[in-house]
Amino acid sequence: MKKRDWAWLRDKLRFRWSKETLDVFQDNEERFKLDSTRGFTLDLKGRLVLRDERPLASFDEIESFVVEVCENREIGDTFRLILSRVGKCDIFIGGIQRQLECSEIAARMGALTGKPVVTRRAIA
**CATH number for the domain that contains residue 78:** 2.30.29
- 53-73 in b/e form (b: 16+ CB < 10 A) is eeebbebeebbbbbbbeeeee
Dihedrals phi, psi of 90, to nearest 5 degrees? -75, 155
**Is the pLDDT reported for residue 112 higher than 90?**
yes
Domains identified in the chain, total number: 1
Residue 89 lies in a domain: yes
Specify if 1 maps to a domain: no
Tell me the one-letter amino acid at 38. R
Give the model confidence (pLDDT) of 55-111 as tens digits: 999 999 999 999 999 887 777 788 999 999 888 888 888 888 888 999 999 999 999
- Whether 116 is covered by a domain: the verdict is yes
**Contact predicate 79/102, CB 8 Å:** yes
**Does residue 95 form part of some domain?**
yes
Which range, 19-23, 90-94, 115-119, is most confident? 115-119
The reply to whether 104 falls in a domain is yes
Classify strands 54-58 and 62-70 as parallel, antiparallel or unpaired: unpaired
Range of the domain at 41: 6-121
Please tell me whether residue 33 adopts helix, strand or coil conformation.
strand
